[in-house]
A and B are shown apart, each in its own frame.
Chain A
Amino acid sequence: MKYYDRLSIELSRPGRKGFGLREAPAGALDCIPAYLRRESAPKLPELSEPDVVRHYTMLSQMNFGVDTGFYPLGSCTMKYNPKINEEAATALEGVHPLQKAHKGAAAVAEGLDKALAEITGMSHFTFQPCAGAHGELTGLMIIKEWHLRRGDTARTKVIVPDSAHGTNPASAAVCGFHVVEVKSTPEGLVDTEVLKSIVGPDVAAIMLTNPNTLGLFEKDIKEIASIVHDCGGLLYYDGANMNPLLGAVRPGDMGFDVMHLNLHKTFSTPHGGGGPGSGPVGVRKGLEEIADSVKVSGFHGNFGVMLRAYAYILSLGRENVPMAGRLATLAANYIKECLKDCYKLPIDTVCKHEFVFDGLLEPNGVSTLDVAKRLLDYGFHAPTIYFPLLFHQAIMIEPTETESLETLDAFIEVMRRIAEEAKEDPELLHTAPHNTPIGRPDETTAARNPILHW
C-alpha cells in the first residue's frame, strides 16, 4: 500500500470536465423563478475522466479487503464474496421500484423468502430492512405491534444480555423500549436464574444472538425460551452470528419468534466499506401479516443485495449449505487451539464461528490494540478488539469457512511471533503499525477540533 495524499477538490482545475452530455437549449431553466434558485453554483471538483479514474484507483490502493487478505474480524463474518453474485446483482438494474406485477422481482422475493425460511425455520421474511441494525429495529416494531394488537400495552421492556452487540440495546431504545441488561454467568452464558428474576408482564421480548458474541452456544436456550414465553414475551434472534448455524441449526426450531439475517455476513454479499447490507426479518407462523405491514424503507429494501444472496444460495444448494457453518466452526476452533498457549483464553471450551481471547498470556505491557496494529504490518486485518465488553483486552477472532489451512496457519504463526515480540521488544508493538500508508492517527485532535469537510 502506498500513501497518496490527494482529495478530488485539490485536483480540480476550472474548465476541466469529466462528463459527456449533449448541449442543453439556451434558457432551459428560465421557467424556474430566481427566488427558487441557489445564489451560486456548488463548489464541486472539475476533473477530466482520466483524473477521476486515477484518483479513485489510487485511493483504493490504500484499502484492505477480503480479496486482498485474511480478515478475521469477529462478529462480521468476512467470508469470500463470490463474483458471479456481482453479475446477478445487475439483473434488474433498469427496473423502477413502482413498476407493478414485475415477474422477475416477484420470483426473486419468493424464491429467497422460501430458501431463507427453510434455512432458519421461520415462516416468512420481509426484505425491507437495509442492514442488520435496521432488521433489529424492524423486528422489535413487529413485536411491539403484536403486543399492541393483543391489547397488551404494558410491555415496555426488552431484555438484552451484557454480551450483546451494541445495536441490540440501541435498536430497543429507538423502538421506544426500556432496556434491561442481563448479566452473563462466569461461563459466558445467559444466567437463567437472573433471567427468571427479571421477566414479568412488562417484558416485550428478549434479544439474543446464539451463539453469543463469545462464540458460545447458549445451551440453555430451551429453558430461556420457556422462561420468556411463559411470561408472555417473545424471543428475538440477532442473526449477526448465524454463520456457524448455517446448515446445522435453525433459530425457528429453538423457539425464536422473530429474527433478522445479515445477508452481507452469512450470505456472502460484500460489505462495501460499511454497506449496503441487507437485514431481512423472519417471523414465525402467525406474524407474517404484521411483518409485511411494517414499512421501514423507501421501496423494497436493498434488492441488489438480495439478488447476490440468492445467487449464493443457488450456488451452494442443498448439497453444500450444511458444510458452510461446520467449516466456519472448524476454522475458529483450530485457531483457538493453536494459540491458547500464547493468548489468554478466559473460557476454554468448544466455540462456534468465533472466540475471544483476553489479551496476551504474557503481555509485558503490550495491549490488545498493539497486537491488532502489529497484525497490519504482517498483512492481516486485525480481529475485532475491545468487544465484547466482558473482558478488558478482548480480541475476537472469526475466520469463516472460506480460508485455506495455509492462510490459517500463516495467521497463527504471525500471532505467535507477535507474542514473542511482546516479550522481546514491546516498543516495536507500541509504535506499530510500521508498514502501512499511515501510522496511528491522532484521534483525540480529530474529535476535539473536528474537520469534517474540505
Chain B
Amino acid sequence: MPGFRYFPCTDGDISRMLDRIGAASLDALYSDVPSEYMRSGGYDLPSAMDEQQVREFFRDLASMDPKLKVLVGQGAYDHYTPSVIPYITSRSEFLTAYTPYQCEISQGTLRYIFEWQSLICELTGMDVSNASMYDGPTAAAEAMRMCVACTRKRNTVVAYSGLLPHVLEVLRTYAKYSGVNLVETWDIAETVAEGTLDLAGVIVPDINRYGVIESHKGLAELVHEMGGLLVEYCDPSALAVLKTPAEWGADIAVGDGQSLGIPLGYGGPYVGFMACKQEYMRKLPGRIVGQTTDAEGRRCFVLTLQAREQHIRRDKATSNICSNESLMALWCTVYLTLMGPDGLRRVNELSCAGAHRLHDALIATGLFEEAVEGPFLKEFVLRPLCEVEKLQKCLADAGYFAALETEEGYVTFCVTEKYDDAELDRVVAVIKEGLL
C-alpha cells in the first residue's frame, strides 16, 4: 500500500506488528465490529492533496473576499498583535502539549497559567481567577450558573439588556436548558428593588452594547441586600483605565480576552476569563493552577482544587468544562507582559482619541446624529440620517468594514490604536464622497 507522510509505519512494520499480535490483517483487528458496520465502499471525500496544493487551497480561500480594515467591535476588537506573540505561542513545547496533568514536565504551561491568573486578578481587582473559559459569552453563562450555585435554591438571574447581543444570546441558551430563570431588563435597579424575585445574581457590563461606559454606583449594595451576587462583564483591555469590577463591588468578573491582542480570526479561538472574590473560590468552574513546592523545596506549580472538576466529581462538578483555551490565555499573557501598564494605557488613549475624532467628524457631516448619551471609550453608535445600505457599500468599496447596523437601526463604529488620524480622515472622506 502507498505510504503517507504522517504515518511512519512501512508495509514491513505493519506485517511485523500483525505477526506479533497474531492477526491476519488490519481488518482482523476489527473482528469485534459487526460486519454490517464496517465501511466497505470507501468515502466520498476529496482526493488527497500534496502539501503545495493545500497551501494554495488556503491562499485561494483567503483571497476569495476583499480584505477589509475593521472599524466594528461588538465583542471582537481589531487591536494590534505584536510579532512576539505568535512567535511564542507557536513554539511546539506550548502548542503540542496536553493539559498539564504531569506537572513535572509541564511547568512551562503551569507557570504561564499562574501568570495569566495573576494578570486577570490585577486587571479586575478580584482575588481568584481560573485558568480560562471558552470565550466571553460562555464565561458569562458559567457566571450565571455560579450565582445559582452560590446562593442555593435561588434561581433568578437578572441580565442587563445593554449587554452585547452575543452575550445575551448565549445566556438565554444556557438559562433555557439548565433551568435558570433569566430576566432581561433595561432598568436593573428597579427590577431588583421590587424584591419579588428569588434573586441569585445580576449581570451588567462595564461598557454596554452602544459603547457607553456604565456606572454601577450603589448596585452592588442593592444586589447584596436582595441576596444575590453581582457579575460584571468586562473588556479586559479597557480595565487598564476603567473602574474595576472589584471597585464597583462585584463578586464575579467575566469577559473575553480577545481584546488583548488576539486576531479577529472570524470569531475564534478567543478566550474567556473568570475571576471572583475569595469566598466563592470553591464554586469556580474549570481549572485552577496553584503554587507549591517539591520535596527539595523548589517552587513549582500544579493544577489544584480539583475536587470541583468533572473528572473527579462527575455529575456533581461545578461545571462540565474540561479543555479550555489555554494557548489563547498564553497569547493574552504575553500581550500583557509586553504592553505593561503604560502600553495598555496607551492603547486605550489612542483608541479613545481616535474614536472621538471619528465620532465628531461623522456628526459634522450632517449624515448622522447622536443616538445614545454617555461617555465612550473606543466604540460608539450613531443614528444614521442616510441610507445604511448605501453607507456600508461605499465603505466596503473603499476597503472598510464599518457602520454595522444594530437591532435598533443605529450604526456602530469602533476605533482601535491601529487606525491613525489620517486613516480616520480618509474614512470620513469616503462617506462624504459616497453620500453627499
Contacts and interface: CB of A to CB of B under 8 A. Distances in A.
A81 B267 contact: no
B170 A295 contact: yes
B43 A118 contact: yes
Given A108-B61, A249-B38, A439-B294, A92 B266 contact: yes
Interface string B342-360: 1111111110110010000
Contacts of A333: 17, 21, 23, 29
A84 B102 CA distance: 28
B156 interface: no
Given A59-B107, A63-B108, A298-B166, A19 B343 contact: yes
Interface string B35-59: 0111100111111110101110111
Nearest to A268: B6
Given A38-B239, A276-B325, A299 B266 contact: yes
B117 A453 contact: yes
Interface in B245-264: 247, 256, 263-264
Contacts of A91: 58-59, 61-62
Interface in B274-300: 281, 287-296, 298-300
A331 B100 CA distance: 25
A273 B98 contact: yes
A443 to B, nearest CB: 6
Interface stretch (A190-198, A214-222, A226-234, A418-426): A214-222
Interface stretch (B134-142, B184-192, B361-369, B424-432): B134-142
Contacts of B435: none
B138 A296 contact: yes
B48 A315 contact: yes
B58 A1 contact: no
B243 interface: yes
B242 A450 contact: no
Given A104-B61, A272-B95, A272-B97, A93 B264 contact: yes
Interface stretch (B194-202, B223-231, B307-315): B307-315
B243 A38 contact: yes
A93 B70 CA distance: 12
A20 B82 CA distance: 9
A322 B268 contact: no
Contacts of A401: 6-7, 9
A297 B374 CA distance: 29
Nearest to A43: B122
Contact of B170 (A41, A296, A323): A296
B158 interface: no
Contact of A141 (B20, B49, B93, B173): B173
B310 A274 contact: no
B293 A131 contact: no
Nearest to A444: B292
B132 interface: yes
Interface string B183-222: 0000000000000000000000000000001010100000
A150 B39 CA distance: 33
Contact of A38 (B244, B288, B311, B347): B244
A17 interface: yes
B319 interface: yes
A321 interface: yes
A131 B166 CA distance: 19
A441 B37 CA distance: 47
Interface residues of A, number: 188
Contacts of A64: 93, 97, 102, 105-106
B336 interface: yes
A136 B302 contact: no
Given A19-B338, A131-B323, A166-B311, A297 B138 contact: yes
A175 B352 CA distance: 41
Given A36-B215, A330-B9, A441-B300, A102 B266 contact: yes
A303 B268 contact: yes
A318 B43 contact: yes
A215 to B, nearest CB: 11
A364 B59 CA distance: 59
A325 B78 CA distance: 41
B84 interface: yes
A63 B340 CA distance: 25
Nearest to A60: B93
Contacts of A76: 98
B99 to A, nearest CB: 4
Contacts of B182: none
A322 B42 contact: yes
A98 to B, nearest CB: 6
Contacts of A144: 177
B70 A94 contact: yes
Contacts of B138: 130, 134, 296-298
Nearest to A177: B315
Nearest to B173: A295
A170 B319 contact: yes
B108 to A, nearest CB: 3
Contacts of A275: 132, 134, 269, 323-328
Contact of A272 (B94, B102, B244, B302): B94
A69 to B, nearest CB: 9
B242 A166 contact: no
A327 B7 CA distance: 8
A109 B306 CA distance: 36
A55 B215 CA distance: 39
Contacts of A96: 68, 70, 72, 76, 78, 264, 266, 401
Contacts of B39: 247-250, 253, 322
A78 B101 CA distance: 14
B385 interface: no
Nearest to A34: B243
A321 B348 contact: no
A248 B37 CA distance: 8
A294 B174 CA distance: 10
Interface in A345-391: 349-350, 372-373, 376, 381-382, 387
B398 interface: no
A22 B107 contact: no
A61 interface: yes
A1 B314 CA distance: 35
Nearest to A9: B118
Closest 8 CB pairs of A and B: A317-B48, A299-B267, A272-B327, A97-B267, A19-B343, A63-B108, A276-B269, A24-B349
22 contacts: A24-B346, A28-B353, A42-B123, A52-B334, A53-B88, A62-B105, A64-B93, A64-B102, A64-B105, A67-B93, A103-B64, A104-B64, A115-B46, A118-B45, A140-B177, A249-B37, A273-B95, A299-B76, A300-B267, A319-B4, A447-B290, A454-B118
Given A130-B325, A330-B21, A442-B295, 14 more contacts: A52-B338, A64-B97, A66-B92, A132-B323, A247-B39, A249-B39, A274-B326, A275-B328, A316-B48, A321-B45, A337-B21, A381-B105, A447-B290, A451-B290
